[in-house]
Structure 1
Amino acid sequence: MSTSLRECLELQLLEMEMLFSMFPSKEDIVINGVNLLSILRRYLEGTSESPPPAIEFSVFVKTEDLKEKAEMHVYLPHSYPTKEPQLFVRSGSLDKLQHNDLNKCLASYVGSLDRGDLCVTNAIQWLTDNISSYVEKSKPTNGNETDLKEDSITFHRMWIYSHHIYRQELRKKILEYAKRLDLTGFCLTGKPGVICIEGDKERCEEFWRDIRYPNWKHISCKHTESRDVTDSMDALRLFQSFEELIFEAHGDYGLRNDYHMDLGQFFEFLRKHQSEHIFQILFGIEAKP
């Protein structure tokens, strides 16, 4: 007999309570979403008929070999634990190759566990036990390896289009992710929504992967630009920081279908940052200055 949605969510709540007992500090486990567990409890108690949003959170793990805590990002589909959770680890103590190896091995480990059993706590323990070996592997043994690592850096820029960007929670998430990953660019809020990120290619791709959790509809990457660099990427950046853009709007904010950003102001912004050619790529029309 297949496990019901209610049974899956009950197990998810049980595991979350276990995690909070394991990580009592609010800094060690951070849930994405306001009152998410309260919404889940109300649904399980029968006081709310609508299924809650999928659980998404980050767990921060520290070992003696890490200069800073490693973050495990966790997304639990409604069908977890009958379906695998989506896990991704990032750490400032690892280079890009070791990030890839670590996450592949973590996925392999989780895939080897029995479906139907809770496994996030097991994955956290696996990470705690094994991440030190990846830190050791990532340490260069001579100057030549350091040079090779520097030679492999790729500067990347992504232009992302969305039908709209409104929710305060989502806007906060975009800003936090960009700053944490040392990406510059902007997020144009309203309708339409546009995001530009630039920086290390792997970090750009990580940002793109993370903001689409669980399933952001009507969003696509319209254009990318890449260039290999052997020195600082700062000279290639069009933006000095990551900021949120809010231009004048046409229409009633209360009626979101009628709330459109002033694209003329947006075109002027692009032109000031040597990016006016992107306007046609994003919107399919040629702007007239």
Structure 2
Amino acid sequence: MHQYVETQMEEFECILSMFPDDEELSYDAQLKDEYENYLSLEENTARHPETRLQYTIHFTVDGQIPALEIKYPRQYPMETVEFVVHCPSLSREAMKRMVTELMCTATGSDGEIIVLQLYQQMAEILEDCLVNAQATQQATEALDHLSITDEPKQVTLGRRAIYFHHIIASTKRRVVKEWALELDLGGFSKIGWPGVVIVEGDEDAAQEYVRRLQHLRWKQMVVRGEQTESGESIEAMRRLPRGFTEFPENGMSDAASLCREVGVEDLFLSVMKIYRSEEREPSDSNGTDSGKSSKKASKR
């Protein structure tokens, strides 16, 4: 019996050193003295304390104070340690899971001290339950803020029709295409004299695309047509094929046919300075393009 008490006290002293504050560990100091006195006497003359050694470890989790109450059987650790879990805030399902897992650990100790492992396991389960509870609360709050009457978030699709005096240099032809693909813009270019670029996609991306091209050296570059549409999805509003096509120098008619087929013919006509009677493009004092204006093309 003496060796069991010695092992129990060694484990208890270890627990006491880990949790020195009264808020962390509660126990009967007088009972502790009785066990220490028992160990100080010869085994054949010492009388085993009548009360079993017990203590309670307190946790602090999200403002709550769960507790693990420990009671040593006479022959612990050869006997399974007794424990009680206190955590009123836990759901019945979570409490059942915790007790089951702790019991599996306790009964599988194989004669080894096990209290510290029980404490660590309980702490992990409490943390897991807290994370799950917070996630559930956040999801509930998010749903509470949603209303079936709320309008879906609107996005804006933009199209640009850009005229160039010419697009010949291989480097410029390459970046015209690469930048469009990078910005997820669909459309095409027609190289040669004149050069034409028509793109569509997210309005911010379309603006960025024009800004990049304007930083290159061109003999003439003018945005002659713009269109914007608002809706729930950029993809649903696209008319031009995804990806980017480069038409050859003699591909103007093919480019025009594509625009006609997808319903952006007015945008193509604007880049060629062919307008409906109601949408004449203003000219500067010399009768030439200003090179800076962005013209809204009508949507039929």
- Please give the range of the TM-score, normalised by the shorter of the 2 chains: 0.3 to 0.5
> Which structure is larger by alpha-carbon Rg, 1 or 2?
2
Give the alignment's TM-score, normalised by structure 1.
Answer: 0.43
